[in-house]
């Protein structure tokens, strides 16, 4: 559970829900197989594909100090057509 941080709800990810694809932000050190096994066991679903990417860095300034926030990885998970994850809005 520590590796999956939270689900992502943006305009694009809401459009992906129509194709039975769900997005999660995960720990940058997590592998696809770890996330796949966790999703399948926790939500009792069948994962057929996974895509991952790292969003670009963004600068963050706090007073005179310039830095970057903690990096994360975003996973787009495709489920079989007869499965869904109840955390998201159902179609």
Asked whether residue 90 is assigned to any structural domain, the reply reads no
Identify whether 91 is part of a domain: no
Q: Let me know: does 45 contact 79? Beta carbons within 8 Å.
A: yes
Domain containing residue 19? 4-58+70-79
Confidence of residue 41 (pLDDT cuts 50, 70, 90): very high
Q: Which residue has the tokens 């197989």?
A: 33
Mean pLDDT computed over 25-32: 92
Q: pLDDT at residue 1 above 70?
A: no
Alpha-carbon span 72 to 85, nearest angstrom: 22
Q: Which residues contact 45 (CB under 8 A, 6 or more apart)?
A: 39, 79, 80, 83, 84, 85
In a domain, 63, yes or no: no
Kindly indicate the confidence band of residue 6, based on its pLDDT and cuts at 50, 70 and 90.
confident
Q: Is residue 41 part of a domain?
A: yes
**pTM metric for this prediction:** 0.81
23 contacts 7 by C-beta, under 8 angstroms: yes
Number of domains in the chain: 1
State pLDDT tens for residues 53-82. Answer: 998 888 999 999 999 888 889 999 999 999
Query: 47: closest CA among 56, 34, 37?
Result: 37
77: region left, alpha or beta (phi > 0 left; psi from -120 to 50 alpha): beta
Quote the pLDDT of residue 91. Answer: 47
Residue 86 within a domain: no
35 within domain boundaries: yes
CATH number of the domain at 42, please: 3.30.70.330
């Amino acid at each position: 559970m520590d590796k999956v941080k939270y689900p992502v709800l943006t305009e694009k990810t809401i459009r992906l829900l129509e194709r039975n694809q769900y997005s999660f932000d995960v720990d940058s050190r997590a592998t696809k197989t770890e996330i796949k096994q966790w999703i399948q066991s926790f939500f009792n679903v069948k994962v057929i594909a996974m895509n991952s990417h790292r969003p670009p860095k963004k600068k963050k300034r706090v007073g005179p100090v310039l830095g970057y926030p903690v990096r994360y990885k975003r996973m787009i998970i495709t489920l079989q057509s007869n499965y869904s994850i109840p955390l998201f809005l159902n179609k």
